Amino acid sequence: MADLLSGALQGYLAVALLLFVVGLATVLLRRTLLMQFMGVELMLNAANVALLAFARWRGGDVQATVFYLMIIAVAACEAAVGLALVIGLHRLRGTTDADRTASLKQ
Amino acid sequence: MHSAWLIPVLPLLGFLFNLLLGKRLGKKAVTAAGVGTVALSFVLACVLFLAMLHAPGHRLELSYGDWLDAGSFSVPLGFVIDPLSGLMMLVITGIGFLIHLYSVGYMGEDGGYARYFAYMNLFVFFMLTLVMGSSLPLMFVGWEGVGLCSYLLIGYDYAQADDVPATAGLKAFIYNRVGDLGVLMGMLALFAAFGTLTIGDILVKAGHFGPQVGFGLLTFATLMFFLGCTGKSAQLPLYLWLPDAMAGPTPVSALIHAATMVTSGIYLVVRMAPLFQMTPVTMTVIAWVGGLTALFAATIAIVQKDIKRVLAYSTVSQLGYMFLGLGAAGFAAGFFHVFTHAWFKALLFLGAGSVIHALHHEQNLMKMGGLWKKMPVTGWTMLIATACIIGFPGTSGFASKDEILYLAYLKSPVLYWMGVAGACCTAFYMLRLFTLAFLGEPRDAHAFEHAHESPVTMTAPLVVLAVGALGAVAFGWPVAFGGSFRIEAFLEPSVSYGATSAEAVVHHGGNPAMLAGISTVLALAFAWWGWSSYKGGLAVAEARAAKWPFLHRLLENKYFVDEGLAYALVAPLRWFGNLLWKLFDVIFIDGIGVNLPGALTRVAGDFTALFQTGRVRNYVLTMGLGALLLLYVFLK
Amino acid sequence: MSLWMSTHFLSFLVFAPAAAGLLLLAFPERQARLAKLLGLLLSFSIFCVGLRGLSLTPDAGGWLFLEHRAWFSVAGLPVDYRLGLDGLNFWLVLLTALLVPVTMLATWNSLKRREGVFAGLLLLLETGVLGALLSQDMLFFYLFWEGMLIPTYFMIGVWGGEDRRYAANKYFLYLASGSLVWLVGLLYLAAKAGSFAPELMAQAASQLPFHAQAWLFLAFLLAFAIKFPLFPLHTWMPDAYAQAPVAAVPVGMLVKLGGYGFLRFVIPILPAAAAHYSKTLAVLAVIAIVYGALVALVQRDLKKLVAYSSLSHMGFVLLGLASLSVIGAQGAVLQLVNLGIGTTAIFLMTGMLEDRAGTTMIADFGGAASRMPVLTGFWILAAMASIGLPLTNGFVGEFLILNGAFTSGFDWGRAAACFATLGVLLGAAYMLWATKRVFWGPENPDADGGTAKLSSDLSLREIAALAPLAALILWIGVHPRPFLSASERPVARLLSDAQAPAPRLAPAASAPTHAPTEVHE
């Protein structure tokens, strides 16, 4: 049974890796904050996919599912706050280009 | 007797009243409170004095509980009335009352009338505390308190454009403070030696003190006390403040800087007499410092132009005589001179004040002259005082000074001759002063025109003081001239204070009559010389000054001590303070210790900040690479 | 309510100011006046509640009031909620509670902005100071000790002068760095003792080898020396005082904790080390006394002058403590009270001059006495207290300290007392010199100078603020017994383990009944 599932695990992990790389590439290559933000969300979901895959592989751990739901809820809040910040920044600076809002640098 | 505490408290109440309400209630109320409280104190002091005379052992001890109490240290709040403090009490309240009365006329036009009387009353309070206090700390309260009042009263005219009074007040306080530290140290040493600071206990314990223990400590203590005396009683080397203190109103000079406060040093030594007698080193120091001061100050007085400055140096010189007497173990003689000096020096100052008042605040002797006709009362009383101070035979000054010189001879003939030389100078400058002010032709016609005899509130005290100055002789007349030195027997209970080791003063050796004769004849000769030099105006004196320009300049500038001190002490002190501040605080501690680490931190921060590009993508890339590195490290 | 108060008197004193302070912080800017008024009323009420303590006889010895319960544990070490009032901190507590409303009243119009917030911070600071004064548990004490930094940091940084940021940072870093070293020592000792209770820590410390005790003592000393402050760790103070005239008063409120904490905790916990290092302490004290006075002598700014004079006065406190004698330590405790009164009074008056003239440079003034006679009167009184004139509080404190040092059995005692008197002399010099330059002499003719702008004498409000301080100066000077008798037994108890040699009194003192016949020639 473990063998049967182990094949599936690799598939899931491959999907998660793909998602993660796409997300990372988005963050690294795009300059718009909104797109970078989406990239971050993709990476987060890649981690979630990996989490669920491992949970399934270990025999259907319910805790992981609960945890996943929790993450989704928190991520939703975080997305709301993040989007609000992006909008606020746009209002303040008129741009969402990450490289042009680098005011934390001295 | 139960009202003894009222004696110092009444003037204190007067002070509070005048300070808080005086300005609002007007001059009459101020006068009533200021003069009235001192008068009442005088009456109570007389009553107490009589009670003391009838008390066993001529001592009254009054206790009002504890003042300070910490660990093994405790100071009672109490008074001791014995012949010594009783007499001082009478002098302070009696002469104090007269001078208060005199001030009503003298300060009548002054805007700060209430403030003036407030300070004066406070002074009387502190002075009474000084003499009545039964313990050294309580005495110290008065000791520093009179210094405070002196400071306030010298600087009374603080807004004067030339800034002289305020500077003089500051100077007086600082010099006194040097001496006060001496008293403080002396008290600490005595507490270490005896475990108590109550005067009576100390003196009784001192009698039981074996010579083998703690004599270094006792010598230290008495020397420190004497340092305090040189400050308060203006002796070498701390005398410099007293001549400058003449910047205060003249009645202040009479009360504080002639009659009472400056004699508190002598009072302290007499009070602790048994202790001083146990330390011969200190006694010798006192005698020599006193003798030197007597001569030194008298020479300066010869050429001073300001009438009050002449009297100020005269006071310094006379105080020197008193210490000379004390140092020669003549406690009664020294104190007797305090007593007689209080009368005639107060009289001299008040007389000078009367002259100054008449001439609209002209203090320069060179611009006076011929006032005898215009101011007969002042003139006569001044003449009496002059006779007393130069030791004219039959006056109180003769009696007291002569006794001191005789004792000085027993101590060392050199001291005697120094005293005689000082007496000659005294005779010369006093006659110079009197002649320049009252005799000859007026040298300032305008001022002379307006001169007038002073009001009765001012002349009445002059007359009373003159009577007192002459009458003081009743208390003592040299044995050599068929008298009895009554004051010695009178003070005996105070001076020996139950101590067993206090040796009696031995009166033998020398020829008292001849010694007195020498000094008197010489002094009278110098008095005549002083009169004859100035009776015809300033010509003779100016010729003499031109002949010896160096000597004249030296004396006129008071041997340049002030300038020397400013150069040698004050300037280096400020320089040193600046050095500490700029070098230690600013450069070493703040620069190297505080700001340098701060600057280094900032440089390090600036360097690492180079990696902060502000681009999120750079951070993510670094983070990713870092994650890969970690993975590699862990999975290797 | 009254029942609650009778069991939680100290908790109320400590935390009521914080509650009031938080309330004031919540007020909007435009309600500042109301906030100020409320702050004054609340702080005054807290002081009135504190006066209730007068019904306890402070000289009874032992705890007058104790609140003690277990609170929480850190790493297995129990931290107790333990507040105690005894004769040692009794008057300091009352004085602190008095100084807050007095300061608010005196500086009513001095602040130009955010007055409500300032009042709130002042009340928070009161909690810090009272908490530190009353805490009898080391960690609890440490929390208050550090907590005080926060309100004062903002007071200096927000309401200070031109260099306020520099001064505030310097202040914070100085004090915090000292405390951290102390904290390490504290935790080490607490781990040994298994508790933060001072008695247990003292017990544990006595089991340690001497070199360990010495190191602990030095770690403790660092924190207290900075707060004191002592040369050469004092340079935060002139800056803090000069930059923040109004905030300087609170700083003055908390420096007295250095001396208090040293006596309350450091000496009893590490008595052997304290005795061993007493000479070092005395030398440091004398340096502080003379150094502070000399540097004060050349200051041009009144505020810095007072700061350095404060350094000099704290030197006296340390000298009294270093003597490890009851007399000296009692003098030191009284001197802490005196400093709270005297330095505050002088600072408030400097602030009143600055309110009118806009400057505190000494050279800008001259002849101010004619324009402000009432202020001059208060100033002279405070100056006399500062230079230790008898019948003012300063004399009693200084005299007892010098006495304690002189008669202590230490070989340095007499020399230290002699040198310390130099400070008394120089104190008179700088204080009266400044007094003369500011108040006396001819009026400064410069129309832009300070004197010309002194348009009015003290208002009733300002007199009301200064009068209690003036009354205290005289009261302690004339009748110091309530203050001294309160501290006698606690001080004797705290010093009992410090091995000071027997007081050096000559044999005659101990045996006054020698027959006079034994005297030899």
Q: Give the tens place of pLDDT for each residue, C445-483.
A: 776 677 777 778 888 999 999 999 999 999 999 999 888
Closest Cα partner for B344 from B293, B391, B287, B305?
A: B391
Banded model confidence at residue A1, pLDDT cuts 50, 70, 90: very low
pLDDT band at C132 (very low <50, low <70, confident <90, very high): very high
Residues B399-456: tens digit of each pLDDT: 888 888 888 888 888 999 999 999 999 999 998 889 888 888 887 777 777 778 888 8
- Sort out which chain C residues have CB atoms less than 8 A from B19's CB and list them: 377
Are C389 and B72 an interchain contact pair (Cβ–Cβ within 8 Å)? no
**What sign has the CA pseudo-torsion C167, C172, C175, C177?**
negative
Which residues from chain A sit within 8 angstroms of residue B617, using beta carbons? 27-29, 31, 36, 98-99
Q: Which of C429, C439, C505 sits opposite B174 (nearest CB)?
A: C429
Which residues in chain C are contacts of B585 at CB distance < 8 A?
235, 238, 295
Find out whether B99 and C354 touch, Cβ atoms under 8 Å. Answer: no
Q: Does B584 touch chain C (CB under 8 A)?
A: yes
CA distance B614 to chain A (A): 5
Average pLDDT for residues B592-612, to the nearest whole number?
Answer: 82
- Whole-number pLDDT of residue C513: 39
CB-nearest to C509 from B140, B151, B193 is B193
Query: CB neighbours (10 Å) of residue B69?
Result: 17
pLDDT reported for residue B127: 93
Query: What is the pLDDT at residue B302?
Result: 87
pLDDT, greater one: A5 or C167: C167
d(CA C507, CA B453): 65
Please tell me which residue, B487 or C189, carries the higher pLDDT value. C189
Chain B residues within an 8 Å CB radius of A28: 617, 620-621, 624
Q: Residue C519: its pLDDT value, please?
A: 35
Interface mutation target, options B607, B613, B616, chain A, most CBs of A under 10 Å: B616
- C440 to B158: CB separation less than 8 angstroms, yes or no: yes
Position B480 scores a pLDDT of: 67
Quickly count helices (H) and strands (E) in chain C. 24, 2
Q: Mean pLDDT across chain B, nearest whole number?
A: 85
CB contact under 8 A, A105 and B624: no
Which residue in the set B169, B177, B210 is minimally distant from C519, CB to CB? B210
Across B230-248, average pLDDT: 87
Q: What is the pLDDT of residue A5?
A: 53
Give the per-residue SS3 of C115-169. HHHHHHHHHHHHHHHHHHHHECCHHHHHHHHHHCHHHHHHHHHHHCCCCHHHHHH
What pLDDT, on a 0 to 100 scale, did the predictor assign at position B535?
A: 80
Q: What is the pLDDT of residue C409?
A: 77
- Does B211 have pLDDT greater than 60? no
Kindly report the number of other CB atoms within 10 A of residue C74's CB atom. Answer: 11
Binary contact (B617, A103; C-beta < 8 A): no
Using the beta-carbon criterion (under 8 Å), do C440 and B140 form an inter-chain contact? no
Over chain C, what is the mean pLDDT? 86
Residue C130's pLDDT is 93
What values do phi and psi take at C84, rounded to 5?
-140, 140
pLDDT value at residue B554: 78
Q: How far is B602 from chain A (nearest CA, A)?
A: 13
CB-count exposure of residue B424 (10 Å: 0-12, 13-18, 19+): buried
- Cβ–Cβ contacts within 10 Å for residue B65, how many? 10
| Mean pLDDT of chain A, nearest integer | 85
pLDDT, tens digit (0-9, with 9 covering 90-100), for A47-65: 999 999 888 888 877 888 8
CB C334 within 8 A of CB C476: yes
Find the mean pLDDT for residues C436-440: 88
Chains with ≥3 Cβ pairs under 8 A against B? A, C
Q: What is the pLDDT of residue C514?
A: 38
Among B8-12, B479-483, C50-54, C477-481, whose mean pLDDT is lowest? B479-483
> Could you say which of B158, B170, B501 has the minimum Cβ distance to residue C433?
B170
Shortest distance, CA B602 to any CA of chain C (angstroms): 14
Q: Distance (Å) from the C-alpha of residue A66 to the closest C-alpha of chain B? A: 28
Query: CA angle, corner C242, sides to C237 and C244, nearest 5?
Result: 95
- pLDDT, position C232: 81
C-beta separation of B221 from B268 below 8 A: no
- Cβ distance C418 to B185 less than 8 Å, yes or no, reads yes
Asked if A27's CB is within 8 angstroms of B614's CB, the reply is no
Residues B512-520 have a mean pLDDT of 83
Contact call for A28 and B613, based on CB within 8 A: no
B168 membership: H or E segment, kind and range: helix B164-194
Say if B and A touch: at least 3 Cβ pairs within 8 Å.
yes
Q: What is the pLDDT of residues B289-298, one digit of tens each?
A: 999 999 999 9
Query: How distant is the Cα of C61 from the closest Cα of chain B, in angstroms?
Result: 14
Q: pTM of the full predicted structure?
A: 0.86
Going by pLDDT thresholds of 50, 70 and 90, the confidence category of residue B568 is confident
Q: Which of residues 554-573 of B touch C (CB under 8 A)?
A: 573
Nearest-CA neighbor of C503 among C236, C350, C323, C301? C323
Q: What is the pLDDT of residue C397?
A: 92
Q: Between chains, do A103 and B613 touch, taking CB under 8 Å as contact?
A: no
β-strand partners of B60? B81
Residue B68: partners with Cβ closer than 8 Å, 6 or more residues away = B74, B75, B137, C396, C399, C400, C480, C481, C484
- Identity of the residue in C390, C479, C509 whose CB atom sits nearest the CB atom of B141: C390
Q: B1: pLDDT confidence band, cut at 50, 70 and 90?
A: low
pLDDT at site C38: 92
DSSP label of B328: T
With a cut of 60, say whether residue C291 has pLDDT above it: yes
B447 neighbors B359 (Cβ within 8 angstroms): yes
Q: Does residue B474 have a pLDDT over 90?
A: no
Instruction: Output the pLDDT for position B210.
Output: 56
Q: Looking at per-residue confidence, does B536 or C429 come out higher?
A: C429
Per-residue pLDDT, averaged over C2-11, amounts to 80
C481–B68 CB contact, under 8 Å: yes
Single-letter residue type at B143: W
In degrees and rounded to multiples of 5, residue B396 shows phi and psi of -65, -35
What distance in Å separates residue A106's CA from the closest CA in chain B? 8
Which of B214-218, B532-536, C100-104, C156-160 ranks highest by mean pLDDT?
A: C100-104
Q: Give residue B238's pLDDT.
A: 87
- State yes or no: pLDDT of B216 exceeds 60: yes
Residue C432 has pLDDT above 50, yes or no: yes
Tell the residue number behind the tokens 């930094």, with chain if given: C149
- Is residue B150's pLDDT more than 70? yes
Residue B305 pLDDT > 50, yes or no?
yes
Q: Check residue A29 and give its pLDDT.
A: 87
Q: CA C19, C24, C26 angle in degrees (round to 5)?
A: 100
Considering only the beta carbons, identify the residue of B609, B612, B616 that sits closest to A98: B616
pLDDT of B504 > 80? The answer is: no
Paired tokens of C32: 């500042």
Least confident of B67-76, B307-316, C377-386, C431-440: B67-76
Cβ distance of B617 and A98 shorter than 8 Å: yes
Q: Which two tokens stand for residue A46?
A: 């890649």
One-character DSSP codes across B57-87: GG-EEEEEEEEEEETTEEEEEEEEE-HHHHH
Helix (H, G, I), strand (E, B) or coil at B213: coil
Q: Between chains, do B620 and A106 touch, taking CB under 8 Å as contact?
A: no
Q: What is the pLDDT of residue C248?
A: 66
Which range has the worst mean pLDDT, B177-186, C236-245, C247-256, C348-357? C247-256
Mean pLDDT, range B241-252, rounded to an integer: 87
C16-70: pLDDT as tens digits = 999 999 999 888 888 888 888 999 999 999 999 888 888 877 667 778 888 888 8
The two tokens of residue B191 are 């507490």
CB of B193 within 8 A of CB of B262?
no
Q: pLDDT tens digits for A13-38?
A: 999 999 999 998 998 888 888 898 89
Instruction: Determine whether the interchain pair B585/C295 forms a contact, defined as Cβ–Cβ distance below 8 Å.
Output: yes
Predicted confidence band of residue B28 (pLDDT cuts 50, 70, 90): confident
Chain A positions touching B614 (Cβ under 8 A) are 99, 102-105
Beta strands in C32-147 (DSSP E): 65-74, 77-85
Distance CA A36, CA A25 (A): 9
Examine the pLDDT at B190 and tell me if it is beyond 50. yes
> What confidence tens digit (pLDDT) does each residue in B73-120 have?
888 888 988 888 898 999 899 989 988 988 888 888 888 888 999 999
Q: Give me C270's structure tokens.
A: 């590490």
pLDDT of residue B243: 87
d(CA B114, CA B25): 9
Strand pairing category for C65-74 and B73-81? unpaired
What pLDDT, on a 0 to 100 scale, did the predictor assign at position B453? Answer: 83
**Lowest pLDDT segment from B587-591, B600-604, C31-35:** B587-591
**Interface confidence: ipTM more than 0.85:** yes
**B285-304: burial string, b at 16+ Cβ within 10 Å, e else:** bbbbbbbbbbbbbbbbbbbb
Maximum Cα interatomic distance, chain B, rounded to a whole number of Å: 124
